[in-house]
Structure 1
Amino acid sequence: MVQELDPIAVSDHLSWSSVNGQFFNDLLPLPYTEEALRLFCQKVEQVQEVLGRRLLIENPSSYLAFAHSTIPEWEFLQQVQQRTDCHLLLDLNNIYVSAFNHGFDCQQYLAAIDPATVKEIHLAGFTVKTVDDGEMWIDTHSRPVSEPVWQLYRQWVRQHSAQHGLVPTLIEWDLDIPDFAVLQQEADKATLIIQQEAEHGLIVT
């Protein structure tokens, strides 16, 4: 299909969803260990060799973590990029959601990412779910982009676009889909951020 359609980019998540021929309808978190890193890199290299192009690997949202993980997700993701020469798809909502769920700092995550390797950005909304011991944030793609995620987007555009250029930005909304006017408003917010940063001379559009 990739050869037939020749899309601009082909992406997949830093996750797994099958074992022993059984497939799961979800993106399951990896154990962030050296063994998992080697295996994941092997898979990325195999796909890139077959397709004859670089993949974009996207950071996931997650709701649990393996106790035996030894590598922070942002370092794991960067190691995948460096070892396979793939590109990255940076999902800012996933970073924000996972930061709350696991207690890490969004800024530490973003600081570890090489902006030259980011070729696409995703934004989305999330849902807050009440659980026994508090809250869990779920990447549902069913709400407007939250203000903190817009701020992360503005920060990324401001810090990196002048040197590395603008990259495609996708707003994901695939549940509880509203009227088109609402979707257009979300897209307009992204455009406005780019225009405002351009007016300050921080990027070239």
Structure 2
Amino acid sequence: MQGPTEITFKDVTKTPELEDLINGKIAKLEKICPQMISCRVMVECPQKHPDTGNPHRVRIDVTVPPSQEIVAKQSASEGDMHTPLETVINNTFKAAEKQLKKLSEKEKGQVKIHPEQQVMGIVTKIFADEDYGFIRTVDTGDDVYFHKNSVLHDDYDRLNVGTGVRFVVHMGEKGPQASSVEIEYQPKPGNIA
């Protein structure tokens, strides 16, 4: 890996066994995608006394060239409240592996994005604190989900409701989602529809 590995524990006891498990899983990701730039893993327990769902949350952010980022996460609301933390970590890394394999296959196939494959749209909702939003396509009027990591040139913070973007639509696990989101125009203040 070209850059650093960051493992953060928040309200979870950091043990050598957990660190070894996570480092082993990161090494497996590196075998799938040797050109990884960085990998950040966050393990936390946001709910001290949950009524439902697993108390643990695991998030994995992997950056690969040319500044593409994949995110795999399991929220505290998902799964059984008695699922061991190690299982939550394993499941989250499996999701990251699946995304990296798909990305690697795409790169090997030399799939190029042509302007005619891109869609124009307007940002209709943005949830800055949660790093995602929705874009309404100009041609069909459908709302398409996008994540901060799918915005090119680190321009996520420049997006506002009404910003015009060009993007590519892919089918995600929960429906259509945008990738390669690029700002085409910014509305002038006071001209937001």
TM-score (ref. length: structure 1) = 0.25
Structure with the higher strand share, 1 or 2:
2
Structure with the higher helix share, 1 or 2:
1
- Structure exhibiting the larger radius of gyration computed from Cα positions: 2
Larger relative contact order (CA 8 Å, sep ≥ 6):
1
TM-score (ref. length: structure 2) = 0.26
